[in-house]
Amino acid sequence: MIIDSHTHLGRNEHINVSVDELLRSMDAAKIDKALVFAGKLNNHPNEDMYKNIAPHQDRLYGIAAWHPNDTQHDLFLLERSIEEGKVQGVKFYLGYDHWYPTDLRIYDVLEILQEKKIPAIFHCGDCLCTVQQAKLKYAHPLGIDEVAVDHPNLKIVIAHMAYPWERDAAEVCYKNKNVFADVSGFVYGAFDAKNIVDFKKVLDEFTTVAGGTDKLLFGSDFPISNQKSYVETIDDLIGMKTISENIHKVFNLL
């Protein structure tokens, strides 16, 4: 079974794609299930995400978005959505929203996630070139180490291997048993020959520092990256089977 741990829906200039388009792409790539991220960045807030994926609970799982400025009421709604099974993880958009992972305003959320055994996903590394206001200094993965130490029973995912800081991300994963990384978002569209060579170097560097592929999760970053091309490339470089089962170490999926 192939589960894509990093996909988006949206309706603006950054990300514009529907549920039907996602499902067609999954079918073409022979992807069985996918985690779907909410986010203000792509004009797809939590409640819209819950509604859009609800008819497809056999294939699509919700990942809510959270910002430090969200209120206690928002926290109540998030906790209720977790208890109702609508949320399988929470995404934090560091570089896009201009805050560090050690920001104490999110620690109430992290405590809930730790208690409910729901993972936290942090956007790290490169930001979309179309989002001019993004600030990379907030997206460095080293701050994830402190979060992992302060919340040792919280599963954490560093999105995108924090490229171009994949060595730092790998060290954080190696040091902390509760930290993982997904391989998503390395290319816009499909891989070409040069992309594949470059991606292999990144994967080799990460796995050398992390001590293998045990901390890697498959993810595409659809629609930014082409799912079918991603599956084929990962299968050629490290083997889909090698990392497909790692997702069950992090997410409580059927």
- Interval 216-240: pLDDT, tens: 999 999 999 999 999 999 999 999 9
Domains in the chain with CATH codes: 3-249 (3.20.20.140)
Dist CA 106 CA 109 (whole Å): 5
Contact predicate 112/79, CB 8 Å? yes
Per-residue model confidence (pLDDT) at position 12: 82
Dist CA 162 CA 67 (whole Å): 19
Pairing of strands 10-11, 60-66: unpaired
Pairing of strands 89-92, 60-66: parallel
- Interval 79-101: pLDDT, tens: 999 999 999 999 999 989 999 99
Q: How much is the mean pLDDT over the chain?
A: 94
pTM for the whole structure? 0.96
Q: Is the pLDDT of residue 196 over 90?
A: yes
Pick the closest to residue 2 from 250, 252, 248 (CA basis).
Answer: 248
